[in-house]
Amino acid sequence: EAGVAQSPRYKIIEKRQSVAFWCNPISGHATLYWYQQILGQGPKLLIQFQNNGVVDDSQLPKDRFSAERLKGVDSTLKIQPAKLEDSAVYLCASSPLGETQYFGPGTRLLVL
Amino acid sequence: GDSVTQMEGPVTLSEEAFLTINCTYTATGYPSLFWYVQYPGEGLQLLLKATKADDKGSNKGFEATYRKETTSFHLEKGSVQVSDSAVYFCALGGSNYKLTFGKGTLLTVNP
């Protein structure tokens, strides 16, 4: 079974630029999550989708971050404009209707 | 709100030593508890989980018991190997299966 795929793996941008990350969850998994992991900290949930609907986006900085999950499969997370403090690893995870989440390898973002 | 506090690292052990990484939590209701592991350059992997009080999760020689009375889920392994070197995260599963993670503990095992 293929795992959660993410791209790109690494991205370097300058502040105020925009960036987008892509996630392809495990086939058949209804729930998709985006986490932000700042160096030295645990992952923090940004947004949770159930199929193509948003379940929880309470910690998503909506003035600069946006996410969508069209057709209930792939998802994109966008930052516009980026700030220095957005430097982090962005993790995508998926799960079937249940608790165990399966994580992708992450996208490491550096904002200069 | 939900929170997880785990032992500050880094932890450095010799091969075959006993490992304990402490984890305590604060939550409403009866959450599920997890340990995830992150090997260098890789994504998070589920190591073990427990879904109710007194449950013991186990995998790859690691164990953790869900202690409701002490709100703890400490990770243990009797004899660590060099290949266990990684970052270990304790996590709590709350409403809508949302995971709340601790800050992580870096474990280095020397031969």
Given this model, what pLDDT does residue A6 score?
96
Instruction: Give how far the C-alpha of residue B1 lies from the chain's centroid of Cα atoms, to the nearest Å.
Output: 20
State whether B98 and A56 contact (CB < 8 Å): yes
**CA torsion through residues B104, A104, B36, B42, sign:** negative
List pLDDT tens digits, range A60-78.
999 999 999 988 899 999 9
Measured between beta carbons, the chain B residues lying within 8 angstroms of A49 are: none
Give Cβ neighbours of residue B26 (< 8 Å, ≥ 6 apart).
B2, B3, B4, B71
Given this model, what pLDDT does residue A1 score?
66
Q: Is A67 exposed, middle or buried (0-12, 13-18, 19+ CB in 10 A)?
A: buried
Residue B13, H or E segment? strand B11-14
Given this model, what pLDDT does residue B1 score?
84
Could you tell me which chain B residue has the CA closest to the CA of A100?
B46
* Mean of the per-residue pLDDT values of chain A: 93
Average pLDDT per run of 10 along chain A, which is 112 residues long? Answer: 91 97 94 94 94 91 94 94 97 86 94 97
Q: Which residues in chain B show pLDDT less than 70?
A: none
Test the A interface: residue of B5, B23, B42, B44 with most A CBs within 10 Å: B44
Q: Report how far residue B34's alpha carbon sits from residue B64's, in angstroms, rounded to the nearest whole number.
A: 9
Measured between beta carbons, the chain B residues lying within 8 angstroms of A106 are: 43
Question: In this complex, is the C-beta atom of A1 within 8 Å of any C-beta atom belonging to chain B?
Answer: no
Query: What is the gyration radius of the CA atoms in chain B, in angstroms?
Result: 13
Hey, what are A65's tokens? 């971050």
User: What is the percent of chain A where pLDDT is above 70?
Assistant: 97
